[in-house]
Amino acid sequence: MSKKVLVAMSGGVDSSVAAILLKKEGYDVSGVTMCLGIAAEGDGARCCGADAIDDAKSVCDRLQIPHYVFDYAAQLENKVIAKFVSEYEKGRTPNPCVDCNRHLKFANLLDKALVLGFDFLATGHYAAIEKNEEGYFLARSKDKRKDQTYFLYPIPYEKLGNILFPLARLTKEEVREAAKKASLPVAEKQESQDICFVTQKNCQEFLCGRVKELNPGPIVDIQGKIMGRHRGIIFYTIGQRGGLGISHKTPLYVVSIDPKENRIVVGEKKDLMAKGLLAGEMNM
């Protein structure tokens, strides 16, 4: 009996080709799209919106495989968006894709797939899973330019045995070509580079609708001299150069953000350099 695989399909070319490859390898393939309660976009490029669900369904129809839609709107709000906003309020720049993988795709969705009788959950990520005498581990994909192992680092090692990354040994160009050969309706679809739940013009506009209040404050140099005023710390990230509203003889960058004092510290490029870092949320 063929092993059963549930493919997480975003409506894009990568997950669509992942489904094709698995079907060719003889797996019993089904597709699933996570409905995140996101409004459809006019260009159809944003993942997990209404347009994306339709695109994933059309691919599954072409491949003659079942397609399911699971509602993850509440989980997205509670596990990903809430933290996203909170981190900006703390002066940090979060990566919501990491948290989506941590709490949704490779937690709840994977667990649900196994409960429903599937042997594996597969995605269109550019990453590889390898095995040695100690067990499974994440490895970089063939396409180093598109490699996504960083976004997948929180996956518990004990779950890797139930995950498949069919694109591990392909480049983006090879994936696109495979989609064209299969005459997939998404073969020429634009690649989404946006945060899926930010349907506004930009991230700042999204945050403005989420934070309780914007608190303007001082912009100071590394000696503490006031250089200007900021509009609220959510609008800034470390390393940022533009949008400071400061005229200076040399380019200034955001060096640090102090949420307790509600101030932005700026300095020259050399001031961004550091001898070390503090790392958290490790997965060893």
DSSP states of 149-186: GGGGTTS-GGGGGGEE-TTTT--HHHHHHHHHHTT-TT
Is the model's pLDDT at 39 over the cut of 70? no
Q: Are residues 41 and 113 in the same domain?
A: yes
pLDDT at 202: 81
Q: Are residues 31 and 89 in the same domain?
A: yes
Any domain includes 67: yes
Any domain includes 205: no
**Are β-strands 217-221 and 163-164 bridged in parallel, bridged antiparallel, or unpaired?**
unpaired
Any domain includes 277: no
Query: Residue 280: pLDDT band by 50, 70, 90 thresholds?
Result: confident
Is the model's pLDDT at 40 over the cut of 70? no
Determine the average pLDDT of the residues in 6-33.
98
Catalytic residue (choose from 47, 48, 60, 196): 196
Per the CB < 8 A criterion, the answer to whether 15 and 7 are in contact is yes
Is the model's pLDDT at 276 over the cut of 70? yes
Using the Cα atoms of residue 122, residue 123, residue 129 and residue 134 in order, give the sign of their dihedral: negative
Is the model's pLDDT at 169 over the cut of 60? yes
Query: Residue 43: pLDDT band by 50, 70, 90 thresholds?
Result: very low
Q: Are residues 94 and 165 in the same domain?
A: yes
Nearest to 199 by CA among 52, 92, 98: 52
Q: What is the pLDDT of residues 133-150, one digit of tens each?
A: 999 999 999 999 999 999
Q: Are residues 138 and 258 in the same domain?
A: no
Higher pLDDT, 194 or 248: 248
Determine the average pLDDT of the residues in 5-19.
97
Number of domains in the chain: 2
Is the model's pLDDT at 74 over the cut of 90? yes
Catalytic residue (choose from 47, 48, 60, 100): 100
Q: Which of 159, 181, 203 is the last residue of a domain?
A: 181
Q: Are residues 20 and 143 in the same domain?
A: yes
Is the model's pLDDT at 46 over the cut of 70? no
The CATH number that applies at residue 227 is: 2.30.30.280
Q: Which of 181, 205, 227 is the last residue of a domain?
A: 181
Determine the average pLDDT of the residues in 3-11.
97
Q: Are residues 218 and 141 in the same domain?
A: no
For residue 196, indicate whether it is catalytic: yes
Q: Are residues 255 and 122 in the same domain?
A: no
The CATH number that applies at residue 27 is: 3.40.50.620
Any domain includes 122: yes
SS3 243: coil
Any domain includes 41: yes
Mean pLDDT, rounded, of the chain: 93
Q: Are residues 34 and 159 in the same domain?
A: yes
**Are β-strands 128-132 and 120-122 bridged in parallel, bridged antiparallel, or unpaired?**
unpaired
pLDDT at 12: 94
Is the model's pLDDT at 186 over the cut of 50? yes
Q: Are residues 12 and 139 in the same domain?
A: yes
Per the CB < 8 A criterion, the answer to whether 65 and 59 are in contact is no
Any domain includes 235: yes
Q: Which two tokens stand for residue 158?
A: 């004990």
Q: Are residues 108 and 159 in the same domain?
A: yes
Q: Are residues 221 and 146 in the same domain?
A: no
Determine the average pLDDT of the residues in 6-24.
97
Query: Residue 163: pLDDT band by 50, 70, 90 thresholds?
Result: very high
Q: Which two tokens stand for residue 263?
A: 């101030």
Any domain includes 50: yes
Q: What is the pLDDT of residues 89-117, one digit of tens each?
A: 999 999 999 999 999 999 999 999 999 99
pLDDT at 48: 66
Q: What is the pLDDT of residues 200-244, one digit of tens each?
A: 778 888 898 888 889 999 999 999 999 999 999 999 999 999 999
Query: Residue 47: pLDDT band by 50, 70, 90 thresholds?
Result: low
Any domain includes 169: yes
Q: Are residues 122 and 168 in the same domain?
A: yes
Determine the average pLDDT of the residues in 56-66.
97
Domain that holds residue 33: 4-181
Determine the average pLDDT of the residues in 23-41.
87
- Work out the percent of the chain whose per-residue pLDDT is above 90: 80
Per the CB < 8 A criterion, the answer to whether 196 and 51 are in contact is no
